[in-house]
Structure 1
Amino acid sequence: MSRLPKATSLAVLVAVAAVTLQALLVPLFAGPAANLEPRDLPLAVAGPAPAADQLAARLAAAHPGAFDVRVVADADAAIRNRDVYGAIVLGPQGPSLHVASAAGPAVASLLTQATAALGEGRPVPVVDVVPSDADDPRGAGFGSGFLPLAMTSLLAGVLIFLVVKRRGDRLLALGTFAVLAGLCGAAVQQYWLSVLPGDYLSNAAVMGLFGLAVAGTVAGLAAVLDRAGLALGALTVFLVGNALSGVSSAAELLPQPWGAVGQYLPIGAGSTLLRSVAYFDGNGAGTAIWVLCAYAIGGLLLVAFGRRGLAGPAAEVAPAPAEREPALAG
């Protein structure tokens, strides 16, 4: 009977903790999604110098803080290099909008709406310089396909820590998972679902690096902090990272500084890297590569030197305790 109040208190505490977590997660996911708008979104203007400069100044004044407007000589090159998301090109027939739906269909749609007034009553022609895959014109397959990669990588990190008990075996398991996850993930998205273009081995390398970054980080944190590390890894890498990743939109459309923060977490960096490699010949991939490599190497180092959850040599070879000899009478 004395344990009942304690058990009851624990039950109430668990319920309160779950509701508190729910209250935090709902705005974490719904908040950014409900407040998508351009925030210093890179946008180019190309055309004759006086007119281009005037239009750039006009856009900056009409949409303060929304666009990072820059005048360029070659609009399409700036888009393909991932310097900008779109460009307004001034020509003899009037302005036209050049976009890259592969960089984010939501951004292309937003730019189309934002520049509609430039036609002065006539539709502004839209040129898709780098279109999304023909089998995934709205980019839904790309965004939806990235979530299972993150989930399975998180699960792999958890299972490797819980099931594999030696450092060397854990490192081998992480490496094997990364290689197979990359090869299998790229094959499914390219050859089965046909939602991803580009070179198969390059895409597989990106997915493998991403899988190693997530699984290695989770397993590494657990090797240092035990099960608390699993919780920290799941919270940081998956829950927060997914909400701030901008996979289905763009980092510049999320509330700041959270959009920028998301690009320094594995899911945000992974999606940016995969877009760059699959659609833009690797342009704009530099920061994302370094971020994923940092997580992958850091996770492997934590696994190699962490002591939690390991089967120690002493425990493996320790003999059974000897029975005590009965004391001699007298």
Structure 2
Amino acid sequence: MTITRRAVALGLAATLLQALMLIAFAWPAVNLAPRDLPVAVAGPQSTQVAAQLAQHNPGAFEITTVADADAARRALTDNEVYGAIVTGAGAPQVLVASAAAPAVAQQLTGIAQQLAGATAAPVQDVVATDPDDPRGAGFGSMVLPLVMSGIAAGVLLTLLVPSIGARLAGLVTFGVAGGLLSTLVFHTWLSILPGSYLTLAALAALSMFAVAVTVVGLAAALGRAGIGLGALTMLLIGNPFSAATSAPELLPQPWGTLGQLFPPGAAASLLRSVAYFDGAGAGGPLAVLLGWSVGGLALLGVGVLRSRPAAEPETAAEPVAVAA
């Protein structure tokens, strides 16, 4: 292949990558809608409200009936539902947890107002977002830098550090230092998330390490092609379907569910669970991040085996002439 043909092929490949990125980032954003969104209903008219919700948008809600308003609040604080509608005297009361997803809280408020036929239904935010980030915009914006820094660290360690052992040391250093510094920014300075600084730093470190070690591990096992595979996986699948700015149940399925099985989506859910819900629902996302980290380390082990030179076969010793 001549240099000109190679340049044309690379230009076409870059164009295709651009189209894929536009689809990956824009398509989920323009198709946000509730899909089996967990909500609770309570009170004497709970059956009627549940029927109205199902009729309003079939398949949009996964409805759970609870005893009363206190049970609905517990379901919210336990991170089991995104919102609740409590019926009784007068207009229904809407309970939301904007910390779980501000976009969902807004949608549930609007739907409840339509059901009540009132201009303003009473709304109580049981688990609110941080006052310095009321719309959750800061939280949604911080996930991409964590992913990009993990990809950059993986690429640089692969290209500039020849020893796999030294790459592992660089990964650990990146995870620990990156977790401490990034948490200092989004927790202490910007106040995007409340909670313990050290706990959030540990979670951020695990999230960044999971991304970086995946890139380094794939590169060690597959060669240079592994760098592109790891970076594109995190950038084109993990990040746009992470639901960091919305909720997994608002994304087209199965992409909303699939996004939670990648480090960006798991990191967003884990940070939300620990910061706002005392760790409720944190087990799944934590297992996902640990799984990617262990998988990346296993791929590093494969790279170690690949880098070992093949043992040379033993040759028979030549006979030595002995003087008579």
Indicate whether the TM-score tops 0.5. yes
Q: Which structure 2 residues correspond to residues 196-211 of structure 1 after superposition, within 5 A? A: 196-211=193-208
1:190 alignment counterpart = 187
Answer yes or no: is 1:68 the counterpart of 2:62: yes
Q: Does the residue aligned with 2:239 lie in a helix, a strand or coil?
A: helix
Compute the TM-score of the two structures, normalised by the length of structure 1: 0.89
Please say if residues 45 and 70 of structure 1, whose CA atoms lie closer than 8 Å, have aligned partners that are also in contact. yes
Spell out structure 1 runs of 4+ moving beyond 3 A.
Answer: 307-310
Letter aligned with residue 25 of structure 2: F
- Tell me if structure 1 keeps the 8 A contact 2:92–2:112: no
1:127 aligns to what?
124
Supply the distance in 2 between the matched residues of 1:233 and 1:56 (Cα, whole angstroms): 44
Does structure 2 retain, via aligned residues, the 8 Å contact 1:238–1:267? no
Q: Does 2:153 correspond to 1:179?
A: no
Q: Is the 8 A contact 2:52 2:115 kept in 1?
A: no
Alignment check: 8 A CA contact 1:107 1:250 kept: yes
**What RMSD in Å do the two structures reach over aligned CA positions?**
1.8
Once the two structures are TM-superposed, the CA of residue 235 in structure 1 deviates from its matched residue by 0.6
The amino acid of 1:154's aligned partner reads I
Q: Which amino acid aligns with 1:15?
A: G
Shift of 1:168: 2.2
Instruction: Provide the C-alpha distance between the structure 1 equivalents of 2:221 and 2:167, rounded to a whole number of angstroms.
Output: 14
CA deviation string 1:13-44 (max 9, x = no partner): 12221212222221111111011111111111
> How many aligned residue pairs are there?
307
**Which residue does the alignment assign to 2:101?**
104
Q: CA deviation at 1:57?
A: 2.2
Counterpart position of 1:165:
162
C-alpha distance in structure 2 between counterparts of 1:169 and 1:83, whole Å: 43
Q: Report % sequence identity.
A: 53
2:35 and 2:60 in contact (8 A); partners too: yes
Partner AA of 2:275 in structure 1: A
2:319 corresponding residue in structure 1: none
Matches within 5 A, 1:1-330: 6-48=2-44, 51-73=45-67, 74-307=71-304
Q: Match for 1:289: what amino acid?
A: L
CA contact (8 A) 1:45 1:56 kept: yes
- 1:249-298 alpha-carbon deviations (Å, 9 max, x no partner): 11111111111111111101110101111111111111111110000111
Cα distance in structure 2, aligned partners of 1:308 and 1:13: 34
Separation of aligned partners in 2, 1:154 and 1:28: 18
State the TM-score, normalizing by the size of structure 2.
0.90
Q: Distance in 1 between matches of 2:157 and 2:10?
A: 27
2:25, 2:11 → 1: CA distance? 21
What secondary structure does 1:91 align onto? coil
Distance (Å, rounded) in 2 between the aligned partners of 1:177 and 1:23: 32
d(CA) in 2 for partners of 1:180, 1:308: 29
Distance 1:59 1:238 in 2: 36
Distance apart, 1:304 and its partner CA: 2.8
Q: Which moved more, 1:166-175 or 1:36-45?
A: 166-175
Counterpart AA for 1:76: R
Counterpart of 2:35 in 1: which secondary structure? coil
Give the direction of change, closer, same or farther, for the CA distance of 1:230–1:256 in structure 2 (3 Å limit). Answer: same
Gaps of 5+ in 1: 315-330
Counterpart code for 1:72: V
Which SS does the other structure have where 2:75 is aligned? helix
Q: Look up the equivalent residue of 2:28 and give its one-letter code.
A: P
SS in 2 for 1:121: coil
